Structure 1
Amino acid sequence: MVQYNFKKITVVPSGKDFIDIILSRTQRQTPTVVHKGYAISRLRQFYMRKVKFTQQNFHEKLSAIIDEFPRLDDIHPFYGDLLHVLYNKDHYKLALGQINTARNLIGKIAKDYVRLLKYGDSLYRCKCLKVAALGRMCTVIKRIGPSLAYLEQIRQHMARLPSIDPNTRTILICGYPNVGKSSFINKITRADVDVQPYAFTTKSLFVGHTDYKYLRYQVIDTPGILDRPFEDRNIIEMCSITALAHLRAAVLFFLDISGSCGYSIAQQAALFHSIKSLFMNKPLIIVCNKTDLQPFDGLSDEDKKLVMEMKDEAMKTVIGQGGEAINDDGVLLTMSTLTEEGVMAVKNAACERLLNQRVELKMKSKKMNDCLNRFHVAIPKPRDQKERPACIPQAVLEAKAKAVTEKEKRKLEKELESENGGAGVYSANLKKNYILASDEWKEDIMPEIIDGHNVADFIDPDILQRLEELEREEGLRLEHEADDDDFEMDGKELTPEEQEALAEIRKKKSLLIQQHRIKKSTAESRPTVPRKFDKDRKFTSERMGRQLSALGLDPTSAVNRARSRSVSRRGRKRERSLAREDSDVDAMDMDVDQPGKKLRMRSRSRSRSRSRPPGDVTPGEGFKDSAQKVKAMKLAKKSVKNRNKDARRGEADRVIPTLKPKHLFSGKRSIGKTSRR
């Protein structure tokens, strides 16, 4: 759990915003109406309340700023020195001291003016004293405006600092710039530190987390350090020095043995010897990086001698801790972050060394002695001289050995991905673990839905055999139907002319069936065209006569019947139009004696179209007959009778919404009523 969370510090307003916030709160949360006719005691109390309320608000806001910013003497020395490096301890304390002084001054101003207001003899004098008190308070806040702006910048920067726990298991990476520190932390954690081929890409501390033996380790990437006097180091380098000085961590000192970082091994060895005092009482590992460019065995004798001297110093540091001497291989390690060779070995060695050191320190502490007094280890006494080793069945051992071999043979998806082009190129095969009768079936395309049906409902292992049986039955049935068909003529007893006519009829019938099927398939997307808009003239009596004549039939009766139908239709239409004209003439005769033209037009329109009675039922209304509709209309009229009698507003009345609701536009609001905003 992170002990220090600087992201929770409240925003520090500027001097002008500070004054606006406090005066606005005073205006909103204190009474504003006062009359000169009030008693003088009431007037004094009114303005004294204003001054006291303003002072309390200033005091609360300034106290919150002082309390929320960390005190450098009370927090962990790592954070205390880091804040001193970043912001200068003196300026930081001066700014907070000015805030505290302003808080005390505002309290004294309020106290003095409340004492003066007790002797105010008029509304005007009390008001002048109140204005003077609030003005002097605001002047004090204006004077500390630069300190408020400075603290706000510090707050923003502190909120961006990494959340480092100084007391947890920590691995610290240090070395010259551009030796591969950020690449290493990106490999072993999920941190995303920017990596560039130039020095000082990392300008601040970065934190990542990794796991080892079910424990969480915090890995800190520090900016590069140059070999120069302590006074000449800049803020970026001092961040690394601060972390090395105060964090109890396993230190990984990175060496670039290829020289591609721009610094020789001699320069890096000089840096190691200049800061080796910071490595005391800490597990130290010297990591030779970039072995893909320069193998360790290919170094010159001078460079190897320098590296071995560093290794001896690291061994002295380890033995000087009070712990036991460790293996030489655990102090000097080689790796390459590009090929990832040796990366996990370095991580595991650092975690193991740190874990052993923490266990040793706990074993030496007094707390461990208190805990050991509570334990009792019971050792059973042997009852005879017979050996009783642990008995593990042979089947279990074989199964375990088989599982280990399978695990070694089986490749993980991550390994397959790296072998086949990496992320975005390799696509995992989700079908390779399907349990099927044959491995060849795994890549078959399996449709799920066909023609709106679920394929799984129709899966049958004997489907092909049943299909053959159905086709056989269908063929037998068609043969029987052909034998029993009495409606179709086989043409054996017809003359050659009749056989030709029969062939034409059957051909025409098949064409008509095909046209009908085409029209039926496109019926949804094709509009229905009336016969009178038949531009292609497909349905004329002359064409019908020609087709019947071509078939050897007499078309006279059919053509006459079609013509008689059209004539009768036109005759009925003509009769209706004549009847309408006669009714119009009669209406005009009736309107001769009427005085106005409007009345004549109204009688003429009524004669042309008469409205349907209210009780008539039209299709789609949902009524069975006229009686049911009349009954429903009576019930509807009865249901609104009381509402109409009381002149209440109904669904047909015009609605004018309230444009300025009273609760939003009237007077002052009490405390707590603005939370809905």
Structure 2
Amino acid sequence: MVQYNLKKITVVPNGKEMIDIVLSRTQRQTPTVVHKGYALSRLRQFYMRKVKYTQQNFHEKLSAIIYEFPRLDDIHPFYGDLLHVLYNKDHYKLALGQVNTARNLIGKIAKDYVKLLKYGDSLYRCKCLKVAALGRMCTVVKRISPSLAYLEQIRQHMARLPSIDPNTRTILICGYPNVGKSSFMNKITRADVDVQPYAFTTKSLFVGHTDYKYLRYQVIDTPGILDRPFEDRNIIEMCSITALAHLRAAVLFFLDISGSCGYSIAQQAALFHSIKSLFMNKPLIIVCNKIDLQPIESISEEDRKLVMEMKAEALKTVIGQGSEPTNEEGVLVAMSTLTEDGIIAVKNAACERLLDQRVELKMKSKKINDCLNRFHVAVPKPRDRMERPPCIPQAVLEARAKQAAENADRETKRTEKDLENENGGAGVYSANLRKHYILANEEWKEDIMPEILDGHNVYDFVDPDILQRLEELEREEGLRLAEDAVDDFEMDDLELTPQEKEALAEIRKKKSLLIREHRMKKSTAESRPIVPRKFDKDRKFTSERMGRELSSLGLDPSLAISRARSRSRGRKRHRSPETGINGQDAMDMDIEPSNKKLRARSRSASRSKSRPPSEVVPGEGFRDSSQKNKAIKLFKKSSMKRNKDARRGEADRVIPTLKPKHLFSGKRSIGKTQRR
């Protein structure tokens, strides 16, 4: 594939930018320090180096511009004429010629001043010659600034041109504006050409690619052409004329038979006859588009006659190639880009015709004669007169019949799109998403299933085996209840009375309820807030309630209530004048203990004594209390700095150094433009 690097051309700087680039590079890449104490030969060499280096930089920059831009006489005629149409060949060559002249002038200036510098007799004279040489070079570059700006605009426009290979398999689409060329292009390729209901939406060439018989084809969409003299056509139309004139391609001439494009069939036929000379020696197909608005059979006799004349002209172009067309029907094809009827037929016809022509041309070339003597076509001889038709296995025939039946069912089956159109269209019809549910009962499909129930997501608890598991749980619960009923009520090898058995049964029932309630609370403990016992609103855990429940069972609740109250009161001691500590009679004590011992003993009995932090606990790893104190002090000292850093915030006063001296002072390495 021929590739023109139109997108890889280097950016063209304007005159001032080029001067800055070259002088900055000269300043950076050559020595900058010179003293008047140097020998004169060294001074001359110093300034000659400056002049030569500047001339070399200008020469490299300008040469890159000259060689990277394509030469219109050396590239393919299609690109040459296209660039001439877009940019005017004379202006283009003139701009490149001025750049070439400036390059030669800069070379002559450098040569002359280097010759003068060889005879410089002082530091001042050499410096003045260097300044004059660089100034004249910069003046030359400033004079070609308009040409450089023009070439930069051309480079930007060239980078936006499509990459068209003039020598590959190509399908070219042409015709009047707004006849459906870009719509057809979007259908058969992955190109995204803008389509609008007005003329000249396409203003340049667009390229797409499609495949046919494992070969890649290049499809080019051209702007619309009007039927007028060649001199009156604008740049947009000339792009199409250039492509038709220079590209070896299969041409698709689009014809709008409905007249919705704004031009009649007679006007389109006149355009066809005015440019038919561009179709010679090219496969030509006339495409009758927009048959959804008006079928080709319903057009008038005059228009049909014009279409048949165009078909005859298309056949002449094919016969003019030296071969008879194999299929006349492929010359005139009807289609609709809106309903996509006939689009694939048009594409296949164009690709087939182009492929046949390319094969025929290769067969006529000289290269094929060098290869024919290497080929041998083996023709088998028949061994008898028996006919052996192709045998298709029965399984393949059955599979084909099954596939055909499925295709027929698919065509007759009503889709959701059909239902939507029948019931008011989009925004009115709402598709039923439940009608394809696979359920045991068809009536269940319309049941309303809540998403949230009692604060829980219902779908978290949906289980396909939930009914079976419920039955197992109920069966297990029945077995347990039966075991509890059969269980004999014997305690300590004594037979219970009927009243005691009833009370025991009630107690066990209450116990099982409490256990079940506790298990339910435990299963939902993560999602249930923990409420302290003192905030119990239902008063479930009071001694009065316990007493009422025990009394209802026929039991005496006094002992249980007194035991619960004594346990909840803690370990307080009551002391009376007649009673000593721990309930001992004061008269029975031989020796009355002192008040200090009594306080210590009562304190130890009432609460536990707290351990000092320095006391060593077995297992901590410290030898004695002094070692533990030392470790505590080291820990506090190490955490002090971390605590300070943690307390530092946005409000803390910090005055950073905004301009550090080592970054904002010293010798300038490059220098400024105005100081040169």
Normalization by structure 1: what TM-score? Answer: 0.72
Deviation at 1:204, TM superposition (A): 0.8
Q: Per-residue deviation at 1:34?
A: 2.8
Of the structure 1 ranges 332-341 and 515-524, higher mean CA displacement relative to structure 2 is found in 515-524
Shift in Å at residue 405 of structure 1? Answer: 3.3
Say which SS state the counterpart of residue 558 (structure 2) adopts. coil
Distance 1:386 1:400, change over 3 A: farther
Please give the secondary structure, in 2, of the residue aligned with 1:626: coil
Gap change, CA 1:177 and 1:61, over 3 Å in 2: same
The alignment partner of 1:200 has SS state of coil
Q: Is the 8 Å Cα contact of residues 203 and 223 (structure 1) preserved in structure 2?
A: yes
1:40 aligns with 2:43: no
Change over 3 Å in CA distance of 1:70–1:491 after alignment to 2: farther
What is the deviation of 1:39?
Answer: 2.7
Q: Is the CA contact 1:16–1:142 (under 8 Å) kept in the aligned structure 2? A: yes
The answer to whether the Cα contact below 8 Å between 1:28 and 1:668 also exists between their aligned partners in 2 is no
3-state SS in 1 of match to 2:499: coil
2:571 to 553, 565, 569: 565
Is the CA contact (8 Å cut-off) linking 2:258 and 2:293 kept in structure 1? yes
Is 1:493–2:516 an aligned residue pair? Answer: no
3-state secondary structure, aligned to 1:121: coil
For 1:513 and 1:385, locate their aligned partners in 2 and report how far apart those are by CA, in whole Å: 94
Q: 1:214 to 1:513 in 2, by over 3 A?
A: closer
1:480 aligns with 2:483: yes
CA contact (8 A) 1:289 1:337 kept: yes
- Structure 1 residues 342 and 566, CA gap change in structure 2 (3 angstroms): farther
Give how far 1:112 is off: 1.9
Stretch deviating more after TM superposition (19-28 or 508-517): 508-517
Question: Per the alignment, do residues 33 and 628 of structure 1 end up closer, same or farther by CA in structure 2, a change over 3 Å counting?
Answer: farther
Q: Give how far 1:665 is off.
A: 9.6
Alignment match, 2:304? 304
- Note the alpha carbon deviations across 1:171-193, whole angstroms, 9 max, x for none: 11111111111111112111111
Q: CA deviation at 1:158?
A: 0.8
Correspondence 1:392 to 2:395? no
What is residue 161 of structure 2 aligned with on the other side? 161
User: Which residue does 2:621 correspond to in 1?
Assistant: 625
2:184–2:337 contact (8 Å) kept in structure 1: yes
- Following the alignment from structure 1 to structure 2, what is the Cα–Cα distance between the partners of residues 546 and 405? 81
Shift of 1:151: 0.8
Cα displacement (A) at 1:195: 1.3
Q: Call closer, same or farther: CA 1:16–1:492 in 2, change over 3 Å.
A: farther
CA RMSD of aligned residues (A): 5.2
CA distance 1:322–1:487, shift in 2 (3 Å): farther
CA deviation after TM superposition for structure 1 residue 70, in Å = 0.7
Alignment correspondent of 2:137 = 137
Alignment of 1:192-207 (within 5 A): 192-207=192-207
Q: Distance in 1 between matches of 2:165 and 2:24?
A: 41
Q: Where does residue 91 of structure 1 map in the other structure? A: 91
Aligned partner of residue 344 in structure 2, secondary structure: helix
User: 2:372 matched to which residue of 1?
Assistant: 372
Letter of the aligned partner of 2:321 in structure 1? Q
- Distance, in Å, in 2 between the alignment partners of 1:361 and 1:238 is 29
Alpha-carbon distance, 1:249 to partner? 0.9
SS of the residue aligned with 1:201? Answer: coil
Unaligned runs of 5+ in 2: 432-437, 450-456, 552-556, 575-595, 601-609, 635-655, 671-676
Instruction: Give percent identity, aligned residues only.
Output: 68
Counterparts of 1:298 and 1:131, CA distance in 2 = 84
Aligned mates of 2:180, 2:145 — CA distance in 1: 44
SS at match of 1:493: helix
Give the number of equivalent residue pairs. Answer: 584
Does the 8 Å CA contact 2:12/2:65 hold for their aligned counterparts?
yes
Contact 2:180 2:337 in 1 (8 A): yes
Q: What is the deviation of 1:247?
A: 0.6
Kept after mapping to 2: 8 A contact 1:545/1:556? no
Return the alpha-carbon distance in structure 2 between the equivalents of residues 97 and 157 of structure 1.
Answer: 20
Equivalent-residue separation in structure 2 for 1:19 and 1:417 (angstroms): 70
Match of 2:339 in 1: 339
1:601-640 Cα offsets, whole Å, 9 max, x none, are: xxxxxxxx99955x9689xxxx852259979x99xx9xxx
Separation in structure 2 between the aligned mates of residue 274 and residue 203 of structure 1, nearest angstrom: 21
For 1:262 and 1:270, the matched residues in 2 are separated by 15
CA distance 1:560–1:211, change in 2 (3 Å): closer
1:641 aligns with none
Structure 2 residue matching 1:193: 3-state secondary structure: coil
Which whole-Å CA distance do the structure 1 matches of 2:53 and 2:547 have between them? 110
Contact 1:189 1:210 in 2 (8 A): yes
CA distance 1:523–1:346, shift in 2 (3 Å): closer
> Shift in Å at residue 233 of structure 1?
0.4
2:243 aligned partner, one-letter code = A
Partner of 1:330: 330
**In structure 1, what is the equivalent of residue 66 of structure 2?**
66
Residues 401 and 111 of structure 1: CA distance in aligned 2, closer, same or farther (over 3 Å): same
Q: What's the CA shift for 1:87?
A: 0.4
Inter-partner Cα distance in structure 1 for 2:120 and 2:305? 90
| CA distance in 1 between partners of 2:469 and 2:566 (Å) | 57
Range moving further from structure 2, 117-126 or 269-278: 117-126
Contact 2:489 2:496 in 1 (8 A): no
Can you list the C-alpha shifts for 1:531-577, whole angstroms capped at 9, x where unaligned?
Answer: 7xx7989799xx65786588631555654564453679xxxxxx9xx
Q: Aligned equivalents of 1:221 and 1:102: distance in 2? A: 41
Q: Deviations over 1:404-429 (max 9, x none)?
A: 636855869xx97987879x99999x
* Residue in structure 2 matched with residue 582 of structure 1 by the alignment: none
User: How far apart, CA to CA, are the structure 1 residues paired with 2:111 and 2:403?
Assistant: 82
Question: Whole-Å Cα distance in 2 between the matches of residues 485 and 40 of structure 1?
Answer: 132
Q: Deviations along 1:412-459, whole A, 9 cap, x unmatched?
A: 9xx97987879x99999xxxxxxx9x9x9xx9x9xxxxx9xx99xx99
C-alpha separation in 1, matches of 2:496 and 2:50: 117
- TM, length-normalised to structure 2: 0.72
SS of residue in 1 equivalent to 2:270: helix
CA distance in structure 2 between the aligned counterparts of 1:220 and 1:4, rounded to whole angstroms: 17
By how many angstroms is 1:83 displaced? Answer: 0.4
What displacement does 1:491 show?
8.5
- Matched to 1:337, the amino acid is T
Structure 2 distance, partners of 1:536, 1:427, is 50
Structure 2 equivalent of residue 6 of structure 1: 6
Question: Which residue identity lines up with residue 553 of structure 1 in the other structure?
Answer: S
Letter in 1 for 2:133: A
Show the counterpart of 1:127.
127
Question: What residue number does 1:584 align with?
Answer: none
Measured at CA, do residues 562 and 399 of structure 1 come closer, stay the same or move farther in structure 2, by a change above 3 Å? closer
- Cα pair distance change 1:418/1:312, threshold 3 Å: farther
Alignment equivalent of 2:558, drawn from 534, 553, 557: 553
**Residue 524 of structure 1, CA deviation:** 7.1
Deviation sequence 1:499-534 (CA, Å, 0-9, x none): 5x9969976995797489548845677478697xx7
- C-alpha distance 662-385 of structure 1, shift in aligned 2 (>3 A): farther
Q: How many angstroms does 1:361 deviate by?
A: 0.9
Which position in structure 2 is the counterpart of 1:256?
256
Deviations 1:97-120 (A, max 9, x none): 111111111222222222222233
Q: Take 1:368 and 1:628, find their aligned partners in 2: how far apart are those partners? A: 107
In terms of mean alpha carbon deviation, does 348-357 or 113-122 score higher?
113-122
In 2, the alpha carbon distance for the partners of 1:417 and 1:38 equals 95
Distance 2:318 2:545 in 1: 117
Distance 2:284 2:162 in 1: 24
Deviation at 1:157, TM superposition (A): 0.7
For the residues of structure 2 that align with 1:370 and 1:287, how far apart are their CA atoms?
40
Please say if residues 283 and 353 of structure 2, whose CA atoms lie closer than 8 Å, have aligned partners that are also in contact.
yes
